[in-house]
Amino acid sequence: MMIKVIEPPQDHRPVGGLDYPRTYPEFRDWFPDEGSCVEYLERLRWPAGFSCPVCAASAGWRIAGDKWMCSVCGRKTSVTAGTIFHRTHSPLSSWFAAVWFVTSQKNGVSALGLQQAMGFGSYETAWAWLHKLRRAMVRPDCDLLSGVVEVDETFVGGVTSGTDGSGTDKVPVQIAVEKLDRNRLGRVRFAVADRPGTLELVEFACRTVEPGSLIRTDGARMLRRLTERGYDHEYVDIYASLDKSKELPGVHRVASLLERWLAGTLHYRVSNKHLEYYLDEYAFRFNRRTSRARGMLFYRLLQQAVGTDPHPLHDLIDPA
């Protein structure tokens, strides 16, 4: 069978019951076997029809199972090649079940919880699967924040008590969050800083916020350089405030919710070298918190998973 290009509708928005299952019973009906999972991934990876990963030809032959042969260069490939499912020894049906479980839980799941739910023989398997999925939770080309954006640092982890900020052994985490009307919050971005209180925060703001936006920060003098970078900049002297939580309230709310998530869902079992990937998961969940259909999160994560490079176990254990 030769596959020809079929252009998808312009500005297509996923529809529950058509593009993704809305409930667990629908999920089971949609994916009764391995073949149905393969076909679904093909729709997500090649919405306009098969595309060769080598020469980008738009036609090919299905030769066996999930394998395809390019009609131009003859390259054999599969829908999982070059994705986080690359060379997996587990059936896609198991991966789909894990993705559904992870995305259907409002606050996520720990590796121990996934191990118990999936019946994995080891904690390490559940840990590796979760970290593979976290690699797909934030797209490198995601849209910049815009409008009114608060930018600041918080501190995560560590065991030091009785001290604040840079006097602790906690990790500095940069936060940018959109402020909407009526104290509502929009999207959020995170980054782990090498050191607190440096120009890294300016660079973080420039990477995550659209030029021309209004950025609100604390009174740190270095942040006034944002004006030179093409932003409107407002700042408050947070250090002189009697109630710091009332200054930059969006950042403080996000930081508080992040700490609660790390404690409640992950029980603080987060190593510093993997922290940025846990932040990616929290951003993925936070930015989709108003979605009424949990199946949409399932759809988005799989959609991003087929566009994410493979991550061997050694890279997950010791990220560069």
Is position 234 within any domain? Answer: yes
Count of domains in the chain? 2
- How far, in Å, CA of 40 to CA of 46, rounded? 10
Same-domain check for residues 105 and 11: yes
Tokens matching residue 201: 């925060």
Pairwise CA distance, residues 54 & 68, whole Å:
12
Q: What is the pLDDT of residue 183?
A: 84
Q: Are residues 207 and 124 in the same domain?
A: no
Question: Same domain, yes or no, for 152 and 104?
Answer: no
Give the tokens for residue 280.
């990616």
CB 130 within 8 A of CB 102: yes
Same domain, 211 and 118: no
CATH code assigned at 279: 3.30.420.10
Is there a single domain that holds both residue 222 and residue 159? yes
Residues 169 and 225 in one domain: yes
Domain check: are 161 and 125 in the same one?
no
∠ CA 117-136-48, nearest 5°, is: 110
pLDDT at 96 (0 to 100): 98
- 185 and 273, same domain (yes or no): yes
Identify which of 102, 115, 70, 132 has the alpha carbon closest to the alpha carbon of residue 312.
132
Provide the 3-class DSSP secondary structure of residue 87: coil
For range 133-152, the mean pLDDT: 93
Prediction pTM value:
0.88
**Following DSSP, what letter does each residue of 289-315 receive, concatenated?**
TT-S-HHHHHHHHHHHHTTS----HHH
Tens of pLDDT, residues 14-58: 999 999 999 999 999 999 999 999 999 999 999 989 999 899 998
Same domain, 57 and 95: yes
- The whole domain housing 278 covers 148-287
Q: Rounded CA gap, 197 and 50, in Å? A: 49
Whether residue 173 sits in one domain with residue 83: no
68 and 99 co-located in one domain = yes
CA 192, 286, 236, 206 torsion: positive or negative?
Answer: positive
